[in-house]
Amino acid sequence: MSDLTLTAKSLTSEHRRRRRIVNWLMEGLATLAALAAVALLVIVVASVAKRGAGALDLDFFTKTPSFLGFGQEKSGIANAIVGTFIIVGLAILMALPAGVLAAIYLNEFAPKRVASAMTVAFDVLNGVPAIVIGIFVFVFLVAGHGQAGIKGAFALAILMLPLVTRSTQEVLALVPNAVREASLALGAPRWRTTLNVVLPMAVGGIITGATLATARVAGETAPLLFTSSLAGNTVSWNPTEPMASIPFFIFTAAEQADPSLQEQAWGAALVLIMFVLIASIVARAFGLRSRRRLTGGR
C-alpha cells in the first residue's frame, strides 16, 4: 500500500513539475534555433534587397557594365547574366548525365563494397573546397591555353557531380525493391527495369537534386576566378572565350570606388538570390510531385 502511494506521489508532484520545466526549456531552445535560421535568411535577403533593389531596372538587364563611367551612363550586367546562364547550363549538361549514370551504377549494379567505397569517394569530392577545384582546372586546362567559359563550366561541373550523384543515389534508394522485383519477375532485364520502372519513379527527385546542385554552384566565384574571369565588357555567347558571370561581377564591382557600381553589385547579388530562390521552389514542387507519384496520391 505504501509503495502505491509513493509511486503516485512521485507521478504527480516534483517529477512532473521538473519535467514540465525541462520540456518547456528545451522546446523553447529548439524553436529559437529554428527561428534564428529563418531570421538570418530574412536579414540577408532584406539587406541585399534594400541595397540592390535600386539598381534593378531594364537597363540593368540589357546593358553591359561600365567600369570607367562613374555613373555617367546607365550600365548593367547583361554580359554577366548571359555568361552565368551559359556556364551553368554547360555545367549541368556535363554533370547531370554523368552524375545520374554514376548513381545508377552505384545503386543498381555495383557490388556492395564497390558502391560504399565509391560513395565515400563522392563525399570526399563534395568536401573539396571550390578554390581547389578552380586551381586544378587552371593547372590542367587554363595555364598555357587561356581561359574559357567552358573551362569554368567544367570546374562547376566537378563541384556539381557529387551533389547530383549523392542526391540521385538517395532517390533511387527510395524506390522500393518490391517494384524492381515485380519487373524482373515479368522477364524484364535489369537495364529495362532501371529505365522503365526505377528512373520514372525517381525522376522528380533527380530533378530536385539537380536543381539544388545548380543553385548551389551558380553562386560559386572561386572556380571562375581562375577559369573565366578575364572577360570583356561586352555580351559574349562564345564559351570558348572567357565569359563574364554574376558572381565574378559582384566580386569586382563591390571593390570599385564608384557607388553606382557598388549598388549594381548588390543588385547582381539580388538577381543571384532570386535565381536560387526560384530554383529551390521549382525543385520543391518537383519533389512533391514525385513523392505523390511514389505514394499514389495518398
Partner 1 sequence: MSYVSSDMQESTEPRADESAQDGLRRAIDPSQVGAERPSSREVARETVFRIENLTAYYGKAPAVRDVSFDIYGRTVTAIIGPSGCGKSTFIRCLNRMNDVIPSFRSEGKILFHDVDLQGKDVDPVSVRRRIGMVFQRPNPFPKSIFDNVAYGLRILGMKDNLGDRVEHALKRAALWDEVSNRLKDSALALSGGQQQRLCIARAIAIEPDVILLDEPASALDPIATASIEDLMHELKEDYTIVIVTHNMQQAARVANMTAFFSISGGEDGSRHGVLVEYDDTEKIFTNPSEKRTEDYVTGRFG
Cα–Cα distance between 279 and 106 in angstroms, integer?
Answer: 27
Tell me how far, at minimum, the Cβ of 197 lies from partner 1, in Å.
6
Give the residue with the Cβ less far from partner 1, 144 or 296: 296
Is residue 114 a contact residue for partner 1 (CB under 8 A)?
Answer: no
293 belongs to the binding site for partner 1 (CB under 8 A):
yes
When the beta carbons of 4 and 185 are compared against partner 1, the nearer one is 185
Residue from 186, 277, 278, 281 touching partner 1 (CB under 8 A): that is: 186
Which of residues 51, 192, 216, 289 is near partner 1 by CB under 8 A? 192
Residue 193 C-beta: closest distance to partner 1, Å: 9
Using CB under 8 A as the binding rule, whether residue 183 contacts partner 1 is answered as yes
Cell of 168: 540521385
| C-alpha triplet 229, 233, 235: angle, nearest 5° | 95
Alpha-carbon gap, residue 223 to 155, rounded angstroms: 6
How many residues in total does the chain contain? 298
The residue range among 14-22, 23-31, 51-59, 188-196 that interacts with partner 1, by the rule CB under 8 A, is: 188-196
Number of residues that bind partner 1 (CB under 8 A): 26
> In 3-state terms, the chain is what percent helix, strand and coil (to 5)?
80, 0, 20
Query: Contact between 116 and partner 1 (CB under 8 A)?
Result: no
Binder to partner 1 among 12, 72, 196, 238 (CB under 8 A)? 196
By CB under 8 A, residue 291 contacts partner 1: no
- Contact, 106 vs 118, CB < 8 A? yes
* CA-wise closest residue to 81 among 243, 263, 281, 283: 243
Sign, CA dihedral 250-254-255-259, equals positive
Residues that bind partner 1 (CB under 8 A): 111-112, 176, 178-189, 192, 196-197, 200-201, 293-298
